[in-house]
Amino acid sequence: MADILVDTSAWICALRGTDPAIKDAVDELLTLDRAVFCGVVEMELLHGMRPRERKVLLPLFEALRYVAIDRQDWKAAGNLLAGMRSRGTKIPASDALIASVCLRHGLKILTTDRHFDKIPGLDHHR
């Protein structure tokens, strides 16, 4: 069973309780120790966190399994962006990087962002 990188959008839904299905999925991934974290998601979450949230969330994030981003991920993301642009599709560069990390490590992704659906070979956890 593949581990799952929880995207920023899914973390926000889970933490705010705006989507019960996403919250349940994140809770299950945490319980089963299948949730994976990466630097882009961490950066995006740190950027949006309120001071009181930091006290609760930072220890949780430190406990998650972390997948490092390396040069091949950056190159793969650039190639992915170029290929998608040639087909008339644009996605945020940060999401291309997240997708490249998932593809290299054989991770599924849990996200609410629909543009991930357009990335060839990326498996979604719903």
What is the per-residue pLDDT across 18-46, written as a single tens digit (0 to 9) for each? Answer: 999 999 999 999 999 999 999 999 999 99
Other residues' Cβ atoms within 10 Å of the Cβ of residue 38: 23
Task: Locate all alpha helices (DSSP H) within 1-126, ordered by sequence.
Answer: 8-16, 20-31, 39-48, 51-63, 71-86, 93-105
Q: What is the arrangement of strands in the sheet containing 35-38, beginning at the earlier edge strand?
A: 65-67, 35-38, 4-6, 108-110
Supply the pLDDT for residue 122.
94
Domain tally for the chain? 1
**Secondary structure of residue 33 in the 3-state scheme:** coil
Q: What is the CATH number of the domain that holds 43?
A: 3.40.50.1010
Q: Is residue 96 part of a domain?
A: yes
In a domain, 108, yes or no: yes
Answer yes or no: is pLDDT of 116 > 70. Answer: yes
Flag whether pLDDT at 102 surpasses 70: yes
Parent domain of 113 = 4-118
- 75 in a domain, yes or no? yes
Q: How confident is the model at residue 1 (pLDDT cuts 50, 70, 90)?
A: low
- pLDDT in the model for residue 126: 63
What per-residue confidence (pLDDT) applies to 95?
96
pLDDT number for residue 124: 85
Q: Would you put residue 106 in left (φ > 0), alpha (ψ -120 to 50) or beta? A: left
The mean per-residue pLDDT over the stretch 78-94 comes to: 95
Query: Is there a domain that residue 42 lies in?
Result: yes
Question: Looking at beta carbons, which pairs linking 117-121 to residues 24 or more positions away fall under 8 Å?
Answer: 118/84, 118/89, 118/91, 119/80, 119/84, 119/91
Mean per-residue pLDDT for 56-61? 89
Q: Is residue 126 part of a domain?
A: no
Does position 81 have pLDDT exceeding 80, yes or no? yes
Residue 125 has pLDDT above 80, yes or no: no
Q: Is residue 124 part of a domain?
A: no
The first and second tokens of residue 54, run together, are: 């930091």
Q: Which amino acid appears at position 17 of this protein?
A: G
